[in-house]
Structure 1
Amino acid sequence: MRIERICPNEAEALYNCMKKIDQETQYMLYLPDERSFDKAKLIEDIKRHFYIGVKTENDEILGYLSVHISTLAKVKHFGYIMTGLINDLHQQGLATQMFNETIKWAERKGLRRLELTVITSNKPAVNFYEKLGFKIEGIKHESVYMDNHYFDELYMAMMLNHDFIYHSENI
């Protein structure tokens, strides 16, 4: 297994990974049958944002982490993280490696913060994010509806580049 950037020509492999993760866990935003494949759109997304993945020797993608950054001047200092990993690969340090590489990338880019949301009942994920240094900033009450119930999400963030002076040309 290796951790490396996902390239636009790997859009289909990324989609297959996302689809599999959607089927394995209830904690992804998409239900198993909701995600559709628009190759051109996914290629554009990979080109525009940061994507890193867990790849096999055969270039199959088994996990991913993406950081989406706005083009709006007032909010392009932070990135919003979405991530997923095939169940069989949990507890092997791969997610930690993806996050560590992402944090280094974000610091080099001059980002001030990384953000994510996680359903409050997903205690292993909450603990993992806290271990990495993410802090809980608030609760999004009843923001997810699944299994005939509403669930709260935690809004979490990690501050970066505390000594970095922000200039829009750094992004």
Structure 2
Amino acid sequence: MLYRTLTENDTEAFFEMMCRLDEETEYMMYEPGERRERTKNLDRLRTNIEGANSGGDFLLAAVTEDGEIAGFIWASRGDLNRVLHTAYIVTGIRKAWRRQGIGTEFFNRLDDWARANGLVRLELTVECPNVGAKALYEKHGFCVEGIRPKSMKVNGAYVDEYYMGKILK
């Protein structure tokens, strides 16, 4: 597996990977097909990738030998003075590549980036039923800081999310 920064040229492949990810899991924000209905998402994604590469955010992809994007991790750094030391994390790994160490590699590299860039706090949310992801985050030092009751509606049912954070030492 190759771990690399995505570029503007990866926008369409990244978008397609996220659409497939939406179909494979109930744990991402978008419902299956919902992302595709929003054609402006491609332009916004291209702009976000360019922004990440200009030094503000951390965006890393796991790419197979065949060039397929297997997963990603994105840390969006705070952009106001009072939150410049924080970053909000979003990550997703396609079903075929889960439980192969990709998540561990993502979070190890995230920690290196965060420390090198003076971050103190990392945070994320995870649906409470997603025990695999929660275990990965806890393995990498994240702690549950609270629960967001009924923050998501998945398949017609309300789902709680854990709010998790990590203080870098």
> TM-score by structure 1 length?
0.89
1:94 and 2:86 are equivalent in the alignment: no
Unmatched 5+ stretches in structure 1: 163-171
CA distance in structure 2 between the partners assigned to 1:47 and 1:71 by the alignment: 16
Q: How does 1:36-51 map to 2 (within 5 A)?
A: 36-37=38-39, 38-48=41-51, 49-51=57-59
Q: CA deviation at 1:3?
A: 1.3
Look up the match of 1:127. Answer: 135
Q: Please, which moves more after superposition, 91-100 or 53-62?
A: 53-62
CA distance in structure 2 between the partners assigned to 1:24 and 1:90 by the alignment: 11
Q: CA deviation at 1:152?
A: 0.7
Residue by residue, what CA displacement relative to the aligned partner does 1:19-58 show, whole Å, maximum 9, x if unpaired?
Answer: 1100000111100111134333112111223210110224
Runs of 4+ in 1 over 4 A off after TM superposition: none
Q: How does 1:1-171 map to 2 (within 5 A)?
A: 1-35=1-35, 36-37=38-39, 38-48=41-51, 49-160=57-168, 162=169
8 Å CA contact 2:103–2:136 kept in 1: the answer is no
Q: CA deviation at 1:8?
A: 2.0
Q: Which amino acid aligns with 2:23?
A: Q
Q: CA deviation at 1:113?
A: 0.9
> Secondary structure, in 3 states, of the residue corresponding to 2:105?
helix
Unmatched 5+ stretches in structure 2: 52-56
Q: Please, which moves more after superposition, 58-67 or 38-47?
A: 38-47
Q: CA deviation at 1:103?
A: 1.2
Q: CA deviation at 1:102?
A: 1.2
Q: Please, which moves more after superposition, 92-101 or 34-43?
A: 34-43
> TM-score by structure 2 length?
0.90
Q: Which amino acid aligns with 1:159?
A: I
Q: Which amino acid aligns with 1:16?
A: E
Superposition RMSD on alpha carbons, in Å?
Answer: 1.3
Aligned pairs, how many? 161
> Secondary structure, in 3 states, of the residue corresponding to 1:3?
strand
> Secondary structure, in 3 states, of the residue corresponding to 2:119?
coil
